[in-house]
Amino acid sequence: MLRITFIAGYAVLLLGLIAIIALKVIALGDNASWGDSPLVEYSRIIDAHLFDPKNKTWIITSILAFITIWILLLINIAKNSPQWEKTWVKTLSVGCSIMMVFFFILAAVGMTAHYSTGILQEAAAKLGGLMSTPVIMELSFFFIGFILLLSYNIYKRNAEGDDFVEMEIKDE
């Protein structure tokens, strides 16, 4: 149950972020291939409602409330879960955290590209394009994971000492 709760909450967060990014892209609509379609009009209405400064407090509060309820539910379920499931979710949460940070940074870069002007807008658009290029994004995740693995190994060796095994060989 702990794994299902974790994956479901993470999926809702990630799909919500992807939906917001897609909504922003569709709401722009000027350079899109679908032009002025009802989808663009509906997206602009939803976009105007979501990013209205009057609604910002309610939206941020609801997102933080969802995250808080999700974490409290995970903690409550973890009390009755076996140790292997806790370890599994702990490992998964580290990887998912890295991906969420990456997608939040990508969203921030996209919003910077949309709302700024001049050289900052051009730099943010170029950076967003590079960050979302499939090969570069996967390589970035690989190198981030590799660096974290090596960092964890160094930390573990400093905390626990080296893992050398000594064998006794009897002379006959």
Q: Is residue 169 part of a domain?
A: no
Q: What is the pLDDT of residue 110?
A: 79
How far is Cα of residue 126 from the mean position of the Cα atoms in its chain? 20
Instruction: Look at the chain and report how many structural domains it folds into.
Output: 1
Inform me whether the pLDDT recorded for 171 exceeds 60: yes
Helix (H) or strand (E) holding 168: none
Q: Is residue 31 part of a domain?
A: yes
Q: Is the model more confident about 38 or about 79?
A: 79
Name the average pLDDT for the chain.
78
Q: Is residue 100 part of a domain?
A: yes
Q: Is the model more confident about 141 or about 123?
A: 123
10 Å CB burial of residue 107 (0-12, 13-18, 19+) is middle
Q: Which two tokens stand for residue 34?
A: 């679908």
10 Å CB burial of residue 27 (0-12, 13-18, 19+) is buried
- Find the Cα–Cα–Cα–Cα dihedral 32, 37, 43, 49, rounded to 10°: 130
Q: Is residue 167 part of a domain?
A: no
One-letter identity of residue 91 = T
10 Å CB burial of residue 131 (0-12, 13-18, 19+) is middle
Q: Is residue 172 part of a domain?
A: no
Q: Is residue 10 part of a domain?
A: yes
Q: Is residue 8 part of a domain?
A: yes
Q: What percentage of the chain carries pLDDT values higher than 90?
A: 0
Return the top range by mean pLDDT from 12-16, 85-89, 96-100, 162-166. Answer: 12-16
* Distance (Å, whole) CA 132 – CA 99: 12
Q: Is residue 166 part of a domain?
A: no
Inform me whether the pLDDT recorded for 33 exceeds 70: no
Domain span at residue 96 reads 2-160
pLDDT tens column, 62-86: 888 988 888 888 778 777 878 877 7
